[in-house]
Chain A
Amino acid sequence: MHLKYESQLREPLVYGDKTYHQVTEDIVRPIEAKPSRLWYIGFFTAVALLMFGVYSVYREVTYGIGQWNLNKTVGWGWDITNFVWWVGIGHAGTLISAILLLFRQGWRTGVNRAAEAMTIFAVMCAGQFPIFHMGRVWMAFFVLPYPNTRGPLWVNFNSPLLWDVFAISTYFTVSLLFWYSGLIPDFATVRDRAFTKLRKRLYGIASFGWTGSTKHWQRHESLSLVLAGLSTPLVLSVHTIVSFDFATSVIPGWHTTIFPPYFVAGAIFSGFAMTQTLLLVVRKVFGLQDYITMGHVEAMNKVIVLTGSIVGIAYLTELFMGWYSQNKYEGYTFWYSRAYLFSPYGWSYWGMMACNVLSPQIFWFRKMRRNLFVTFFMSIIVNTGMWFERFVIIVTSLYRDYLPSSWSVYYHPTIWEIGFYMGTFGLFFTCFFLFAKYFPTIAIAEIKYVLKTTGESYKDKMGVYEAQPLEQFAHDQTHH
């Protein structure tokens, strides 16, 4: 269990002189208050985007994939780029919740709930792309290995796309359970404070009859630990398997053994950036500065500069291998189609380099790590860069592959391809706005758990003891 004493030198994880009640008040307030104008504007904008996305998908399903600008050479474009991008974003949540839980990183408590929600929503968005990129989406159930009367005819277990089906559905299920099990005590809190019958009933159902008994807490703790254990390998496996979509192929630029670690690092990189984007907004809008502290922001920026540098090394390794292998096909893809700035897609490669490798280096400076404006701006830059990365990998590898005769014309998206992407933003933010309104955005129970050891007021009190000579302290402790 936790070390019950944390040094005074460490920054407190919760600011202000909070009591348990105050914590509850602060976090549950947005749920119980009427939503602000800002919330309505945001929510309906998101719904509008979602509707545009639905229409874009409707067109694609009705008229065919020809509604997009893909062609005989470039079979995947924005669709799979967006898929990998969203899956990548969906990595931070579980990483924060599971791995940091296992590593006993107390600071995760302030951000884990929102990060996990983000994971769930991002994976939901990601899932739309492999489903709707199918030419015959109404036959999508063919990818499920179910007993059937066609022989039976099984799925192809050799195909990385099938591995994706398993990997992503497993990841989604486990993340959802993990997230929800954490929510149960907090729902109970909301239920207990409910002022209408409906709320009481709904939150009552949602909290599964939580009573807060020791038995419940004990089981809850064990479940969290088990799910954390389950999720941890998933964090690594999901993006590894997504990277297999490319790595197991024969296409120069895809056929690369470096992909699994490089993809995982990239996923964490983008996931943290997205978490930053969302949390900076949430903390401002709901006034949760005391819980999502500068310390959190800084910690996440450190992860960003680390993972950004890892992907940077991966990019350079690829370039090196493009030359060192002396394979003319690899060489062409890496040194001409990508790294040559004036080649048709050179801009996307250098966009990626600038956003993912160069700009995060700014976070070597503490001042920058703790600057909210810089952090917010950088989080957007990193997400853009990571989108470029997936676009570079997919499109620049495909559009000029082995046979020069098949080299493609310039691939650019149609409005419906963009619409589909915008639609997933709509889905994501619709979900996120609903989450922010109806769910406790910060894990109340967990905050309370760390409040004792790392809260500001607690630390202040501890300061008194720390200033005392040991004898005095010992005397005080024994003479009460």
Chain B
Amino acid sequence: MEKKHWQSFGELNQSDAYQKDTRDEFRDELPFVGDESKSFLAAKAPRRDFLKYLGFSTAAAAVAASCEMPVKKAIPFANKPEDIVPGVAKYYATTYVQDGDVLSILAKVRDGRPIKIEGNELDPFNGGGTSARVQASVLDLYDTARLRFPTIDGKEVTFEAIDKSIAGAMAGPVVILTSSVTSPTTKAIIAEFIAKYPGSRHVTYDAVSYSGMLLANEATYGKKAIPSYHFETAKAIVSIGADFLGTWLSPVEFGKQYATGKKLNEKAPEMSRHIHFEAVASLTGANADEKFLHRPSETGAILTALLSAVNGQGVTGISDAKLKAGIEKAAKALTENKGAALVVCGSNDVNAQIVTNAINEAVDANGKTIDWTATVNSRQGVDADFVKLVEDMNAGTVGTILVHGANPAYTWYDAEKFKAGLKKVRTTISFGAKADETTELCRYVLPDSHFLESWGDAEPKAGHYSFMQPTIFPLFKTRQWQDSLLKWSGNTNDYLAYLKNYWGTQAGGEAGWDKALRDGVINPATPVAVSAAAFNGASVATALTALASGKKGGKTELVIYEKVAIGATGAANPWLQEMPDPVTRATWDNYVIVSPALARTLLSIDLNHNGQADDYEVNPPKPVVKVTVGGKTIELPALIIPGTHPDTIGIALGYGRSEKMGKSVVGSGKSAFPLLSFNGTTVSNTNVDVTITATGEKYPVALVQTHNRYDTTQGERTEVVKELTLAEYKEHPTEILEEREEELKPWGGLEKFEGKGTLYPVYDRPGIKWGMSIDLNSCNGCGACVVACNVENNIAVVGKPEVLRGHEMHWLRIDRYYSGDMDNPNTVFQPMLCQHCDNAPCENVCPVAATNHSSEGLNQMAYNRCIGTRYCSNNCPFKVRRFNWADYMGADSFPHNQDILSDVVLNMNDDLTRMVLNPDVTVRSRGVIEKCSFCVQRLQEGKLEAKRNSRPLEDKDVKTACQQACASGCITFGNLNNPNSEVSKLRKDNPNRSFHVLEQLHVLPSISYLAKVRNSEEAHGKAEEKKEAHS
């Protein structure tokens, strides 16, 4: 028998009591089970339960207390659409069209929402580059000020009702008023419409007129068109007031071309030479190798003298010695580079453009740097046509007007006359997407869809097509205007059918159409060679005479210019408003640009006087001046911008909009359009006789950079930014390298600096080491990267009151430094972002380790760990860290704490506007620091992509948002540990120009810069001194 062990007599005897005990494991009844009659509360809670309750309630209280975020409802798909994978972005090729500007783009769509725009690399002109305006345009889709339904006299109606009503009201003659139309199908539809309503016509009107060029080209080349320019093949570039990198014609394309000519090969250092003449400081002027200042009234004389000089007859008629020397230099450069020279002129005067054409002819640009094959379609408006229209309207001979894309009630110099005429038109129809100044005055309003909601096509240049497809279902009751025209002209097809029909055969059938949509573009099968047009010089002599008898300038002259970000129509976009202007570094306003010389006499501010300069810099309120132009006056604050002619002032267009355009235009600047003048043929952006007086009042201007020079009373801060001339570079290529070597000598020189500059051991960095190189030579400062960064990383818009207090949140900024002569200085643009230092000063001061270093060399932020001491920001030598001073994003749980913010910020927090947010990037809450992450979400995605394909990471896998947006290609990013990555090669191939900002601090930045090299003849003063010191 088996031996039996027992523990108690009960077990031995298997008593009833024992059996009950073993059956019921627990001696006491559990308080929650069994007895139904006892309520939960009545149940007795023994000690262990008490402890359980205590534990649970403490934990629950802790959990509840630490839950900061309000729970927001997310509704999952009941039926998942086949082509949408949640969390995976799709890219659709489409086209950006605004004010005639056309750019092929890819729209990034996340979960049905377009959230970001990238350039389409198949676009042969822009090659994947974008501008700030293109980047920001995605926000216009979610603009709360968009019109949400069609109206008659301001009352909501249906499209059916409005169609019916218009059918009866369409009185002849009908005029279709548009901005430049580049779409072939739209043109065909307009033609059909006009055929249906005999006597009607199509008038093209551009907010910023290029009629001078169109007419001049008609006179000299017999073509009322604008040719393509090739800055990349030009060795000598002369610009007379054409801001081709900022705003003139096609800045993205030109920026890309220009950068090609400015890229420097260390082994064979050659680059294009750009001589610039201008009156008011511009982005292009800031990039020029040499810049000469003149009065706007001297434009004709300069052109005449330049023509004479390139023809070998010397410079005549110029009294200013500096200017004369400049023209001689320009002529020399042009004639030495015949066939690879290009002259552009920003004037809208026909005669000036005719002479420009003559100069280009003389330097053999036609057919070399100027191409007449791919003519530009983006500007077709001729001022005279519009003048005629306004006359007709006032005479009562226009029965119906259909307005699309044009806003003359705001942009026409004599808007009052247009408005008066509009009142006499019986039927006024606007397709405006927003209640702009003209739409407001129209009876019928049929809001057009945003380009991201639309079908369409465009022909930006002859023979090159770009396609538009909707990336989202129209958000509001809007209809493409082409659909309306088709309906009203009796066509039963809708626009999509029409488009498909039109392209069906041309694109090569269904498959070809699909490919065209997928690629977004159709380019000529073989790249078309550059061609010339026959030049007819008959008009040149008359043009020269006309220029010679041009109006003489008064004491002060005025230039009305476009801002890089705002242009004529961008003021309603908060991202563009908050993007600092590259030239003035100001946001949210327009102002009068005055030269340092004028500031001395008019405002009694001398920038060379330390006290006065300090006072001007540190106090945001700037002196207000009154400008009088032929009876019209405007009062604006004055900003002192070096590089402006002493007798010239500048005012930007695009401000002073109707408050219906959105929150961001409220209180923002004043309109300068009324100050434009008309010379009988074309609108002129200059006024050669104005008066300017100081009012004694002050007005705050939100500048993001107040100090503009890197030389201080205690020496030049050349460790921050390095520039030299090509001549210097050729003579002494290793100058920068030696400078660095000298600076680091106490720590063993460049080679040993990393190890010897610290007490701590140096660690290996295996795997990936992210790094960036920024070429200051090809960066033109346009700011596309700044807005791209805003969009990609959900960076808050803070509004003017906050920018005034130095609270802007931009992770990436473009610093602008002047050097040399303060009246006409050299300018360097330096993109500045987190340098991702390997020995980061921010990391070791954070008490809670919220900012730390990744194994891949990223300096990263853990937002939910950050307690907001701002110590990291204080200790950052580059001041790139940004603190959330208030709840800009509505991301924290305190109720009503956004009351103190401006309407613009609140509007950015609207549910509609928030649709633009990138779901891959955390929205930061109040009280934490944020900064550039090298777009870590993209890096992760790229690494995953490489991993999924079982291959090592390559350059093509990752692109930061700034890099991708940059048309000039000045940003290179990649893995520094891979010797074959582009960034590694770039650093290796350019040892003489590479430098790290503030290298001597031993913070070991992951970003290197390539020094700015200017192709000017003179050496810098600094280098001269050095040479003297050496000898």
Contact = CB atoms under 8 A, between A and B. Distances in A.
Interface of A: 62-67, 69-76, 130, 133-137, 139-140, 142-143, 153-156, 158-162, 165, 245, 248-251, 328-329, 331-332, 335-336, 340, 342-344, 398, 400-410
Given A134-B927, A401-B877, A402-B877, 14 more contacts: A64-B926, A66-B900, A71-B805, A76-B871, A133-B869, A143-B867, A155-B848, A251-B874, A332-B713, A336-B713, A343-B611, A400-B707, A406-B878, A409-B619
A404 B709 contact: yes
B868 A409 contact: no
Given A65-B885, A401-B879, A408 B706 contact: yes
A403 B719 CA distance: 10
Nearest to A135: B868
B845 A248 contact: yes
A155 B707 contact: no
Nearest to B997: A403
A75 B714 contact: no
Interface residues of B, number: 73
B927 A407 contact: no
Contact of A76 (B874, B885, B1003): B874
B849 A407 contact: no
A75 to B, nearest CB: 4
B619 A134 contact: no
B426 interface: no
Contacts of A137: 867
B715 A331 contact: yes
A139 B846 CA distance: 14
A405 B817 contact: yes
A403 B873 CA distance: 13
B1001 A250 contact: yes
B610 A343 contact: yes
Contact of B706 (A130, A133, A250, A409): A409
Nearest to B620: A409
A249 B806 contact: no
Nearest to B928: A135
Given A343-B610, A398-B874, A404-B817, A63 B897 contact: yes
Given A143-B847, A404-B710, A135 B867 contact: yes
B15 interface: no
B847 A140 contact: no
Contacts of B121: none
Interface secondary structure of B, over-half rule: loop
Interface string B828-869: 001010000000010011111100000000000000011111
B606 interface: no
Nearest to A76: B874
Q: Which of A64, A75, A162, A342 has the most CB of B within 10 A?
A: A64
B738 interface: no
A342 B886 contact: no
Interface of B: 610-611, 614-615, 617-620, 705-710, 712-717, 720, 802, 804-808, 813, 815-817, 830, 832, 841, 844-849, 865-871, 873-875, 877-879, 881-887, 894, 897, 899-900, 925-929, 997-998, 1001, 1003
A135 B610 contact: no
Given A72-B807, A328-B714, A402 B871 contact: no
Contact of A154 (B830, B849, B868, B878): B849
B909 to A, nearest CB: 15
B815 A409 contact: no
B706 A332 contact: no
A407 B720 CA distance: 14
Given A73-B879, A250-B875, A165 B847 contact: yes
A130 B847 CA distance: 12
The interface centre, meaning the residue of A67, A137, A155, A407 with most chain B CB atoms within 10 A of its CB, is A407
A410 B885 contact: no
B874 A158 contact: no
Contacts, number: 210
A332 B867 contact: no
Contacts of A340: 610, 713
Nearest to A248: B845
Looking at B712, B848, B897, the one whose CB has the most chain A CB atoms below 10 A away is B848
A23 B830 CA distance: 74
B815 A405 contact: yes
A93 B776 CA distance: 57
A404 B886 CA distance: 26
Nearest to A162: B847
Nearest to B925: A136
A403 B878 contact: yes
Contacts of A248: 845
A134 B867 contact: yes
A405 B813 CA distance: 10
A329 B712 CA distance: 9
B868 A136 contact: yes
Given A72-B883, A405-B832, A407-B617, A155 B714 contact: no
A119 to B, nearest CB: 24
A159 B845 contact: yes
A76 B870 contact: yes
Given A159-B845, A249-B845, A342-B610, A409 B885 contact: no
Given A66-B802, A134-B868, A155 B849 contact: yes
23 contacts: A66-B885, A69-B805, A70-B885, A71-B806, A72-B807, A75-B871, A134-B927, A135-B883, A136-B866, A136-B926, A136-B928, A153-B865, A155-B848, A161-B869, A328-B717, A340-B713, A343-B611, A344-B615, A407-B706, A407-B707, A409-B617, A409-B620, A409-B804
B720 A404 contact: yes
B341 to A, nearest CB: 35
Nearest to B720: A403
B845 A160 contact: yes
What 5 A-B pairs are tightest by C-beta distance, nearest first? A135-B868, A135-B927, A71-B806, A66-B885, A75-B870
Contacts of B899: 63
Contacts of B717: 328-329, 402-404
A135 B887 contact: no
Contacts of A139: 867
Contact of A70 (B715, B816, B870): B870
A161 B871 contact: yes
B851 to A, nearest CB: 9
A360 B548 CA distance: 75
B841 A249 contact: yes
A331 B714 contact: yes
A72 B879 contact: yes
B818 to A, nearest CB: 10
B897 A64 contact: yes
Contacts of A65: 868, 870, 883, 885, 927
Nearest to A332: B714
A328 B865 contact: no
A249 B712 CA distance: 22
A137 B925 CA distance: 13
A359 B1020 CA distance: 49
A156 B713 contact: no
A318 to B, nearest CB: 15
Nearest to A249: B875
Contact of A66 (B841, B873, B886): B886
Nearest to B864: A139
B847 A250 contact: no
Nearest to A65: B885
B752 to A, nearest CB: 21
Contacts of B870: 65, 70, 75-76, 133, 135
A64 B892 CA distance: 11
Contacts of A73: 806, 879
A130 B869 CA distance: 8
B707 A143 contact: no
Contacts of B900: 63, 66-67
B848 A142 contact: yes
Contacts of B869: 130, 133-135, 161
Contacts of A408: 618, 706, 806
B897 A156 contact: no
A76 B1003 CA distance: 22
